């Protein structure tokens, strides 16, 4: 986490709210989210493609048909981030959830009263909940907020994560020479056939209140964002985080 702002904002590592802390990506056969309500259109069934830990769209919903909460819209020039993983904790089988069955060798996404077979018994086989989040920046008038569509039971619900986050940017680190390290970072949609090995995520956060006597004249440039100075009385902080990943979708 690298604070790079112009002053202190009383927010504690909001990137943890987005990407969590070290939960491994899951490998699973594609799963159709047809039974999930408000599933952002489930275009090509890929919202449920749990073979991809991260996905992102540059300045748009991409192929998804997500509707922001009533009265709000997707903020211009902000990216959309998808995170799909298994819950960190094991859980009991629950027919009202989308769940993940795993052992050391394989992982499957399922729903129902019976976990998929072939996973052994006892401690070797574990059941986790499927975690599915679509993060985006919503705006309404002068308000901005980091919100998400999150899988709750079998419904994608819309909820606020952190208010006064005005930008979310994502870039993927690509490995062209096969050494496992990223040579460069590109915007979602520009990965081509290269392997994705890491992702950078930026959040631009502003203070919720004006500070009398302060004028924010900073021009923020990062990823493919170029945000003109607001010249308002709010302090801002730019937070960035690089995470190593082994399977992503651009």
Binding site for Ca ion (CB under 5 A): 58, 79, 169, 224
Q: How far is the CB of 149 from Ca ion (least distance, A)?
A: 19
Residue 71 CB, nearest approach to Ca ion (Å): 25
- Least distance between Ca ion and beta carbon 202 (Å): 9
Do the Cβ atoms of 47 and 33 come closer than 8 Å? yes
What is the nearest approach in angstroms of Ca ion to the Cβ of residue 101?
A: 35
Measured from the CB atom, is 108 or 169 closer to Ca ion? 169
Q: Nearest distance from residue 209's CB to Ca ion, in Å?
A: 28
* 91 vs 139, beta carbon nearer Ca ion: 139
Instruction: Indicate the residue among 130 and 239 with the shorter CB distance to Ca ion.
Output: 239
Q: Residue 9 or residue 56: which is nearer to Ca ion going by CB?
A: 56
Decide whether 57 or 72 has the Cβ nearer to Ca ion.
57
């Amino acid at each position: 986490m690298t604070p790079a702002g112009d002053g202190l904002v009383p927010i504690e590592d909001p990137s943890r709210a987005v990407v969590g802390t070290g939960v491994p990506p899951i490998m699973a056969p594609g799963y159709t989210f047809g039974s999930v309500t408000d599933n952002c259109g489930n275009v090509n069934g890929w919202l449920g493609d749990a073979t991809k830990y991260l996905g992102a769209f540059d300045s748009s919903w991409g192929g998804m048909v997500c509707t922001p909460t009533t009265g709000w819209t997707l903020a211009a020039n902000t990216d959309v981030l998808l995170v799909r993983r298994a819950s960190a904790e094991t859980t009991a089988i629950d027919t009202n959830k989308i769940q993940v069955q795993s052992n050391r060798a394989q992982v499957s996404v399922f729903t129902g009263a019976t976990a998929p077979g072939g996973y052994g018994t006892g401690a070797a086989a574990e059941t986790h909940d499927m975690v599915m989040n679509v993060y985006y920046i919503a705006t309404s008038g002068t308000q901005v907020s980091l919100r998400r569509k999150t899988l709750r039971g079998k419904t994608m619900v819309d909820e606020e994560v952190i208010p006064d986050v005005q930008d979310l940017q994502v870039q993927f680190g690509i490995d062209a020479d096969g050494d496992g390290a990223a040579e460069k970072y590109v915007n979602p949609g520009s990965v081509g056939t290269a392997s994705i090995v890491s992702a950078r995520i930026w959040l631009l956060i502003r203070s919720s209140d004006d500070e009398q006597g302060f004028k924010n004249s900073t021009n923020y440039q990062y990823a493919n964002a170029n945000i003109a100075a607001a010249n308002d009385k709010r302090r801002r902080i730019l937070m960035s985080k690089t995470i190593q990943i082994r399977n992503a979708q651009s």
